[in-house]
């Protein structure tokens, strides 16, 4: 049994979606990151940088933090969504999500969604970068069914919940034909719907 320490954020949703996709039994422990629960000593033993998501795999007696590392771990354990002969491609798109797509869209959320009017520079900078990310993903998906190739992988699972915040981005997902095609196809997966609503039963990926 896997214990998932999480909150209802894109990084959190990556792991609930993956756990649903591989059909693992899991229990969710909510970490209230708005009230400092991530800094508690017990949680820091699992996640030393005080961030969600983190997991304990009770069967293997392992604790894992960092969503990319968790996705790789679960993919290796289950033998799903991380084909050996596609790993070079998958790793590149997963690392791009971890180091670029997530952090930049996350900054866009901070300036554009949570704190509009506080910094014109911040708003403009991250709006521009986020738009560039939409352009780049759309271009990639004009040539490839999924991010790393023909198969749905942990690179898509890592990226999807970030694009699912498209209403906050105000970039107009529906104008990006290939990204929309990819987004809608993933939104329709049963496991994605279930993993997406892991903290709020009524939550569904918003339509473009």
Ligand X SMILES: N[C@@H](CCC(=O)N[C@@H](CS)C(=O)NCC(=O)O)C(=O)O
Select the residue interacting with ligand X from 8, 9, 78, 197 (CB under 6 A): 9
Q: Which range touches ligand X (CB under 6 A), out of 7-15, 76-84, 132-140, 160-168? A: 7-15
| DSSP code at position 205 | P
Select the residue interacting with ligand X from 2, 4, 52, 154 (CB under 6 A): 52
Select the residue interacting with ligand X from 16, 67, 130, 187 (CB under 6 A): 67
Q: Is 7 left (phi over 0), alpha (psi -120 to 50) or beta?
A: beta
What is the rounded CA–CA span in Å between residue 38 and residue 199? 17
Which residues, in sequence order, are CB contacts of 199 under 8 Å at separation 6+?
A: 6, 7, 8, 12, 16, 28, 30
- 63 touching ligand X, by CB under 6 A: no
Kindly tell me which of 64 and 180 has the beta carbon lying closer to ligand X: 64
Kindly tell me which of 4 and 180 has the beta carbon lying closer to ligand X: 4
Report the nearest approach of ligand X to the CB of residue 116 (Å): 20
Q: Are 19 and 197 in contact (CB under 8 A)?
A: no
Site for ligand X in 89-108 (CB under 6 A): 98
Q: Are 133 and 101 in contact (CB under 8 A)?
A: yes
- 130 touching ligand X, by CB under 6 A: no
Kindly tell me which of 51 and 145 has the beta carbon lying closer to ligand X: 51
Report the nearest approach of ligand X to the CB of residue 76 (Å): 17
H or E, element range at 27: strand 26-30
What is the rounded CA–CA span in Å between residue 121 and residue 146? 34
Kindly list the residues in this chain that would bind ligand X in the complex (CB under 6 A): 7, 9, 11, 33, 38, 50-53, 66-67, 98
């Amino acid at each position: 049994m896997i214990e998932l320490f999480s909150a209802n954020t894109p990084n959190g949703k990556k792991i609930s979606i993956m756990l649903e996709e591989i059909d693992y039994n899991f229990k969710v422990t909510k970490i209230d990151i708005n009230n400092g629960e991530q800094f508690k000593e017990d949680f820091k033993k699992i996640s030393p940088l005080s961030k969600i998501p983190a997991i304990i795999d009770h069967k293997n007696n392992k604790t894992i933090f960092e969503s990319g590392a968790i996705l790789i771990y679960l993919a290796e354990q289950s033998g799903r969504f991380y084909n050996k002969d596609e790993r070079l491609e998958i790793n590149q798109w997963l690392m791009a999500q971890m180091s670029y797509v997530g952090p930049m869209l996350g900054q866009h959320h901070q300036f554009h969604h949570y704190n509009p009017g506080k910094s014109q520079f911040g708003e403009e900078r991250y709006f521009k970068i986020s738009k560039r990310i939409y352009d780049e993903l759309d271009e990639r998906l004009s040539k490839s069914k999924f991010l790393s190739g023909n198969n749905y992988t942990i690179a898509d699972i890592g990226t999807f919940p970030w694009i699912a915040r498209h209403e906050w981005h105000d970039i107009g997902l529906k104008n990006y034909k290939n990204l929309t095609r990819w987004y809608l196809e993933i939104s329709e997966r049963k496991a994605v719907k279930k993993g997406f609503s892991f903290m709020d039963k009524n939550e569904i990926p918003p339509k473009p």
